[in-house]
Structure 1
Amino acid sequence: MCMTMWTSASGDGAAACCYRPAMSDEPRPVPPSHLLEAALYAEDLEAAEAFFTGVLGLDVVVRVPGRHVFFRCGTGVLLVFDPRATAQPPKNPDLPVPPHGAQGPGHACLAVDGAALDAWRAHLEAAGVEIEADFRWPTGARSIYIRDPAGNSLELAEPRLWM
């Protein structure tokens, strides 16, 4: 394994990392079957919960006040963490999740049937959610972009976008 560290080109002093795996003659296991969870970050978890349940209709799976709220989205889970809490080492040694977090807005894309996108647009507008963009990709798939209360970019898109 080769780990290379360098300073970012922007000159902001941030370190970047590039992982280059060592070549191996061992066969690689079967690739992962699907994305199980994705994470966004929001300091106001109550506002995030109100948005994801009230506007998008997702169900809460787990809530730990001041740390996270997780939502069921189809067969996956959307994790929304308070980055101030998850930047700290875990307090429970039985669950040694490494510290993590992000600065600035993230992005997640939620699959929506193409026939329902007009209804989603009307619903979002009626809920006072600004539509940032609504367009068709070169593949013909349509996407609608909005922001959650934390400023994360959310995309509602036809699944055929990536087929």
Structure 2
Amino acid sequence: MTDRMPPVLGTLESALYADDLDAALGFWRDVMGLTPLQAVPGRHVFFRVSRSQVLLVFNPAAASRPPAPGTRLPVPPHGARGPGHFCLAVAADLLDAWRGHLTAQGIPIEADFRWPNGARSIYVRDPAGNSIELADPAIWD
């Protein structure tokens, strides 16, 4: 037996919670440009972020219920209340274009600043009140 920890490939999916899935669909599809992958009315809507990354948006009331006995996909209950956070990596030279796009869509910019290393982040809120960050990936360099 070895004490070596197996490697992780990366983040596959991230979840946010929204009571109004129609508003979430409109925001993530029409404002942020993500492609919807799957939706179950009243329960969830999922979006493709990149080839190997997915954003899951759940209705917390539905996702927090335990699966029915004998269900084919017995996903354990989960959920959160209150605003969460989700950050999208954006090329540094496109952050001004994103700021202009969001402003043109009527999305207020909550914050726009540079981190101590010079990398920039822009923050907005989705319709559920989640904090959405668009950031130069260099914030973590």
Mark yes or no: TM-score above 0.5: yes
Stretches (4+) displaced over 6 A: none
- Alpha-carbon distance in 2 for matches of 1:118, 1:93: 47
Identity percentage of aligned residues = 61
* Distance in 2, Cα, partners of 1:31 & 1:117: 33
| Structure 2 residue corresponding to 1:89, chosen from 53, 56, 66 | 66
* Equivalences for residues 103-114 of structure 1 within 5 A: 103-114=81-92
- 1: CA distance, partners of 2:66 / 2:4: 32
- 1:33 CA displacement: 1.6
| Larger CA Rg, structure 1 vs 2 | 1
Counterpart mapping for 1:63-142 below 5 A: 63-74=39-50, 75-91=52-68, 93-142=71-120
Q: CA deviation at 1:29?
A: 3.0
- Report the RMSD for the aligned CA atoms in angstroms: 1.2
**Equivalent position amino acid for 1:80 in 2:** V
Q: Counterpart in 2 of 1:33?
A: 9
Query: TM-score normalized by structure 2?
Result: 0.94
1:81-140 Cα deviation digits (max 9, x unpaired): 000001101236221111000010000100110100000000000100010000011121
Q: Which residue of 1 aligns with 2:133?
A: 155
Distance 1:87 1:131 in 2: 31
Matching residue of 1:146: 124
TM-score (norm 1): 0.82
Number of aligned positions between the proteins:
139
